[in-house]
Structure 1
Amino acid sequence: MAARTGDQPGVQRRRGAALEATILDAVWDELAEVGYARLTMEGVAARAHTGKQVLYRRWANRAELVIAALRRRNGSIVDQVPDTGELRRDVLTVLRWMVKRSSTIGSDVVHGLMAEVPDLDPQPFSMMSGVMTTLLERAAARGEIPTAALPPRVVTLPPNLVRHEMLLTRRRPIEDEALVEIVDEVFLPLVHASAGRS
């Protein structure tokens, strides 16, 4: 009797990492063909030759599925936190990585994901807080700033402002000048003012 995968007869059963890789590759093919607005769990499942229940066991919705595909394709900033020896350069590196990633996936996907943020697990977005905390702790250890114990809104301000640019201005790509302004004119002055009050 032929092996089955999900509802698809005659397809070799795949499990674990092999199945997940097939599904996440199918996500990109679907995005390229139909765009984010028309992407469905059913469409991805059909392209991956599996059942949609297999997807729902791993991801709660299409946004989580797309984020997983994005991580597989481009990696995560958590795995490549910059360490240039200077806080300013570190933060700019993170912001430039964000812009490069958004340019890779396209504005359609970026805006689609942002529109569905309320339905998402907050963990992927909280990761950036950890990245920024790491940069600030290193800077404090080097003596660049008095302390890394800053208000959470200050810590996450640069990536949040970049997301704001992506969502509201719809500039693609965001100009590097805007990133420099975020760091030099907003973030670093706030860091030094907040650290001075701590």
Structure 2
Amino acid sequence: MVAQGRRGEVREAAILVATLELLGEVGYDRLTMDAVAARARSSKATIYRRWSGKPELVVSAVKRYAAAPAPEPAESGDLRQDLLAVLLAMRSSLTGQDAALILELMLAMRRDAELAAVVRSQVVAVKSEAFGDVIARAVARGELPSTVDHALFVEISSAMLFARLFVSGEPLDDAYLRRLIDDVLFPLLRQSGLQ
């Protein structure tokens, strides 16, 4: 029974990995259960026993493999250094995953409400928690007031990283991340009277 359970886990993992690979290669609209079955060396019947259709399959794959939180950076005791550590982790996560997969998920989210909800709750929310932790620690140290709303900073930093990755194609190097903090995030804190 244990061996059969383990085989089932291996089979499921192969199907979910194949789903993400194909999603990045051909896109959500052209992703088929036949293609997933062929890539995973599985039968369609096996896939349909576990998932009722493509949205459910993609949602499971995103939950399992694309939503893993980045390791939480160690606290440095300094807001600037902590922000830089979070941005470095975000960059690593964005560039470590296949950019085509990330872009395809963003496009598919516009057409599939269930997929969008899962990506927002499992990927976006998880990634923003690290930023919230940095802000909370800065508040605890007295660097920021307790009224600070970190959501704006999460949105701006994420948008700038995405624009760099998908729009301009310019490098997401350390110098750029430092400029993002010094020229955008800290000035916003000052302008808001929070620093």
* Common fold: TM-score over 0.5: yes
Q: Which residue of 2 aligns with 1:143?
A: 142
Please give the alpha-carbon distance, in whole angstroms, between the structure 2 residues aligned to 1:110 and 1:156: 17
Q: Which residue of 2 aligns with 1:7?
A: none
Structure number with greater CO (CA < 8 Å, separation at least 6) is 2
What are the superposed Cα offsets for residues 44-93 of structure 1, whole Å, 9 maximum, x if unpaired? 2333314342244795363763563334xxx422xx22233222222222
Q: Which residue of 1 aligns with 2:181?
A: 183
Name which of 107, 132, 136 aligns with 2:99.
107
Name which of 69, 76, 80 aligns with 1:76.
69
Closer/same/farther in 2, CA of residues 87 and 117 from structure 1, 3 Å limit: farther
Q: Which residue of 1 aligns with 2:85?
A: 93
Q: Is the 8 A contact 2:15 2:37 kept in 1?
A: yes
Q: Is the 8 A contact 2:139 2:146 kept in 1?
A: yes
Q: Is the 8 A contact 1:154 1:187 kept in 2?
A: yes
Greater helix proportion: 2
Unaligned runs of 5+ in 2: none
Q: Cα offset for 1:186?
A: 0.5
Q: How does 1:2-17 map to 2 (within 5 A)?
A: 17=9
Aligned pairs, number: 178
What are the superposed Cα offsets for residues 96-124 of structure 1, whole Å, 9 maximum, x if unpaired? 22222333333322322232232322212
Matched, 1:23 2:15: yes
Q: CA RMSD in A?
A: 3.3
Match of 1:81, as an amino acid? Answer: E
Please give the alpha-carbon distance, in whole angstroms, between the structure 2 residues aligned to 1:16 and 1:149: 47
User: Percent sequence identity over matched residues?
Assistant: 27
SS in 2 for 1:126: helix
What are the superposed Cα offsets for residues 145-185 of structure 1, whole Å, 9 maximum, x if unpaired? 223532632343212321222221133x5222221111111
SS in 1 for 2:106: helix
Please give the alpha-carbon distance, in whole angstroms, between the structure 2 residues aligned to 1:110 and 1:147: 34
Q: Is the 8 A contact 2:90 2:127 kept in 1?
A: no
Q: Cα offset for 1:187?
A: 0.8
Closer/same/farther in 2, CA of residues 92 and 111 from structure 1, 3 Å limit: same
Closer/same/farther in 2, CA of residues 27 and 145 from structure 1, 3 Å limit: same
Q: Which residue of 1 aligns with 2:160?
A: 161
Matched, 1:129 2:128: yes
